A and B are shown apart, each in its own frame.
Chain A
Amino acid sequence: MSWNIQWNKLIFSSDVSFDEKCRSVFRFQAKNNPFYKRYLSVFGMNFDSSPDPDEIPLLPIRAFKDAEIITEHEEPAFVFRSSGTSGMERSIHLIADPGLYRKSITKEFYRHFPREHYSLLCYMTGYNENPDSSLIWMSKHLVETDSSGCSSFITAEKQAAGRYIRKIKEKNRIPVLFGAAFGLLDLIDAGISELPPDSHIIETGGMKTYRREMTKSELRQRLAEGFGVEESQIHSEYGMCELLSQMYAIGGEWFTCPHWVRVTIRDPENPSRICEPGEQGKIGLIDLANVYSCAFILTEDRGTKNKDGTFQVLGRWSSADLRGCNFLIDRD
C-alpha cells in the first residue's frame, strides 16, 4: 500500500469527514506503528480493519512513558517531554513533522481568538525549567505568528508587563493572557493585574499544584476578580505533551474539540465501553494530528461529556501521579 498521503492537508481539511480521515490515520498507524500494531493485534485488528472511530482501541497514555511511540521510517525532528519532578517518569513525544503541530496550534487558537484582533501575553515561568515543554513550544509559535509584533512572553515584573499591555492597546488589539493556572494567580499576587477590561485570560491547568487545592469554579472566580474582567472572559486550554492538538473551554468549563479531534469518555473498568452523557470516566482522545505517533489515546484524566458533545475535565482518575497538564482538583 502506498502512503503517499499529504497528512497536513488531509487532517485539517474540513471537506473530508472525520470518520474518513480517522480511517486513513488508523490504517496508516496499524501498518506503520509497530507498538500500536502489536496492541491492535490482541483485539483482532490490523491495517485491513475498518472500524468505526468509536470502536478503535485506545492506547493507554503511559505508552509515551514506557516506549518510543513513532511510526516506522520517521525520524523525530525534536522531542517533547512532560514536566515532572525528579524520580517521576516523564512522557516523551517524538515529533516527526513539526508542521502538523504548527497548523494544529494556529488553526484552533485563531478559531477562538482571530489573529487580526488578538495578541498574546504568555506567562510561563514555571515551565522554563523544562526546555522540552510542548506548551512553551506552542506559546513561542503563537507569539512568532502574531504579525503585529505585540505578542510576547512576560515576567512578573510590573513595569515591563505594563509596557506590553500598552503596546497592544495602542494598536487597538485585545490582550489574551495565557498561562498555567497558579502562575496567573502569582501575577495577581505580584500586582500585575491591571488589564484592560476587554482582556481575555486562558489558563492551561495546574502546575504541580504547588499552592493549596482549589476547584475550577473557585479559580475562575479568583482570576476574574483579580484581573478585573468578566468570568465569561476566563477560558481554559486542555492539552498535553502526548497530543499535538488543544481543546478550549470558552468562558466556562466545557471544552470543545477542533474538527480533527474526537473525545469520548471511557469506562475505566472496560475502556471499550463509551460512557453515557453525564457519566464520569477516563477521557479518550482521537487526535489525528498525532498521525506519526499514536492518534488513539486513553488518558488518565477524569472527565464527563454532555449530550451536545462538549466535555469537562474533572481531575486525574488516580491521584497517585499528578503531572500538571490541566487542572487537577475535583470540582465542588
Chain B
Amino acid sequence: MSGTQKHIEKISKTVEEWLRPDNLQLKDAIERTAAASFFSFEDIKHRILVLKHSLTQKNLEKWAKISKLRENSLRDKDVLCLHAGNLPLVGIQDLLAVVMAGGSYSGKISRKDPHLLQTFLNILDVNGLLPNSHWSTEISDLSGRNADALLFAGSEHSVDSVLQTVQKLKLLKPEAHKLMRTAHFSIAYITEHEPQTMEDLTESVFRYGGAGCRSVAIVVAPFHLNSQKCSFTDYVEALWLNNPQHEKPPESLFHRFAYNKAMEIPQAWLNDFLIEQTFLKPDNKFILHWVKGNFETVQTIVNQFQDGLQSVYSTADYIGKKIGEFRIEPLSEAQSPPVWWKPDQVDTIEWLQTHIGKSAN
C-alpha cells in the first residue's frame, strides 16, 4: 500500500468516525444548527446523507487519481480557506483537498454555519490530520498566517472587500496564489417530462431553496412553461411537503410577479418561489428561469452567461457532452455531487498542487 493510499485510508476512517450515527458531537451540531435556523433540519440531513455516500475510501481514491494527487505535495504549505455559508458544510471539499495533499489548513468558518464543520475539524485534529492548522469564525483570529494560497468561494461582489481584508490582516504571503470561485447558478436541459426527470429537476432547483451554485436557476425545455405548469407545481409541492422552504423570499418577489403579469410573461407563482419564462441571467435565488428551446439554446445560454455559471445538467442522451469548458453532468447529481466535482470547473487538489505543490520528486 502506497503512502498516499494509507493517508486516504486514514482520512476515510476519520470521515466514517465523524459520520457515525452515534457521534454525539455531530448530532449536537446538527441540532444547534437547525435550532439557530441557519438551515432546515431536512437540508442538513440531506447534506449529511450525500456526504456519507460520496466520502467513501473508494471515492476519495478516485478523486486522488483524477487530480493526480502526490503524497504530501503540500507539506509545509499553508492554505487559507474562506468558506461560504450558503449551504450546510459547503467548504468541506476545500478542507479535504488540503488534508489529502498534506497541507496546513487555515480556515475562516462561516458564521452562518459555525457548528457542523467544526465537528469534522475536531476529529481530523484528534487523528493527527491537521498539522499546524488553525480555524475560526473570526477572520481576525487568522491574522498574520501568511498562507501560501487562498481558496475562496462566494459572491463576486464580495471579492474586492475580501481581498482587502486578506491584505490588511496579512493572511497571505505577497506571492500567494488565489483561487476565487464566484459561480452562483447552474443550468438544466431536459428533453421530456417523464416523472423521474421532473423529480430530478425539482430536486435540482428547490433542494436548498435555490441557494448554492449547483442549484438550477435556468431550465431549457422543448415545451412552454404553461404546458407543464400544473404538473411541475405538483412535483414542487411534493418536495416541499417533506422539505419545507427554509428561507422565505423578500416581498419584492411578489412585486416582480405583478410586473411579469403586466408584461404578460408566462409564470408560476409558488408563494416562496417564482418560475418565469424569461431569458435572463439569474440574479435572484428565488427565481427559476424557464426557457423554451433545444440544445442550441443551451449552447447560446452557456456562451452568454458562462461568467457565473457552475454546471450544466441533463439526462442520459447528453451527459458527458461538452459545451465549451462545461462537461454536461447528470441532472440527478445536481444536489448530490461526487467528491471530485469541480467548483468553477477547477479541481481544487490539482490547482493547489500546480500552484504551490512540491514537485513529484
Interface residues of A (CB under 8 A from B): 35-36, 38-43, 57, 59-60, 63, 66-67, 268-273
In the assembled complex, B262 has its CB within 8 A of some CB on chain A: yes
Query: CA separation between A36 and B258, bound complex, in Å?
Result: 10
Q: Are A63 and B261 in contact (CB under 8 A)?
A: no
Check B250 against A270 for contact (C-beta < 8 Å).
Answer: yes
Given contacts A38-B262, A41-B261, A67-B263, 12 further A-B contacts (CB under 8 A): A35-B262, A35-B263, A39-B258, A39-B262, A40-B258, A42-B254, A57-B255, A59-B262, A66-B263, A269-B251, A271-B251, A271-B255
Contact A42 B257 (CB under 8 A): yes
Which A residues touch B317, using CB under 8 A? Answer: none
A59 → B minimal CB distance (Å)? 7
Nearest Cβ on chain A to B273's Cβ, whole angstroms: 16
User: Of B252, B261, B262, which is within 8 A of A271 by CB?
Assistant: B252
Do A269 and B250 touch (CB < 8 A)?
yes
Q: B252–A269 contact, CB under 8 A?
A: yes
Chain B's interface: helix, strand, loop or mixed, by majority?
helix
Output the residue of B251, B255, B257, B261 with the most chain A CB within 10 A. B255
The answer to whether B263 touches A43 (Cβ under 8 A) is no
Within 8 A of A (CB), among B264-318: 264
* Closest A residue, CB atoms, query B251: A270
> A60 and B259: CB pair below 8 A?
yes
Minimum CB distance partner of A320 in chain B: B283
Q: Pull 25 A–B residue pairs with CB atoms less than 8 Å apart, ordered by A.
A: A35-B262, A35-B263, A38-B261, A38-B262, A38-B264, A39-B258, A39-B259, A41-B261, A42-B257, A42-B261, A43-B258, A57-B255, A59-B259, A59-B262, A63-B259, A66-B263, A269-B252, A270-B250, A270-B252, A271-B251, A271-B252, A271-B255, A272-B251, A272-B255, A273-B251
Q: For window 229-265 of chain B, which residues contact chain A by CB distance below 8 Å?
A: 250-252, 254-255, 257-259, 261-264
Q: Which residues of B contact A (CB under 8 A)?
A: 250-252, 254-255, 257-259, 261-264
Chain A minimum-CB-distance residue to B259: A60
Is there an interface contact between A57 and B252, defined as CB atoms closer than 8 Å? Answer: no
Contacts of A63 in B (CB 8 A): 259, 262
What's the Cα separation between A39 and B260 when bound, in Å? 8
- Measured between alpha carbons, how far is A14 from B340 in the docked complex, in Å? 71
> What are the 6 closest A-B residue pairs judged by CB atoms, nearest first?
A270-B251, A42-B258, A39-B262, A269-B250, A38-B262, A35-B262
Once the chains are docked, how many angstroms separate the CA of A36 from the CA of B262? 7
A60 CA to B252 CA, complexed, in Å: 11
- Rounded to whole angstroms, the CA-CA distance of A96 and B250 in the bound complex is 36
Complex Cα distance A41/B264, Å? Answer: 12
| Closest beta carbon of chain B to A214's beta carbon, Å | 21
- Between A36, A42, A66, A270, the greatest number of chain B beta carbons within 10 A of the residue's beta carbon is seen for A42
Q: How far is the CB of B276 from chain A (nearest CB, A)?
A: 13
Contacts of A273 in B (CB 8 A): 251
A269 to B284, CA, bound (A): 12
Question: Given known contacts A38-B264, A66-B263, A67-B263, is B252 in contact with A268 (CB within 8 Å)?
Answer: yes
Query: B residues within 8 A CB of A59?
Result: 259, 262
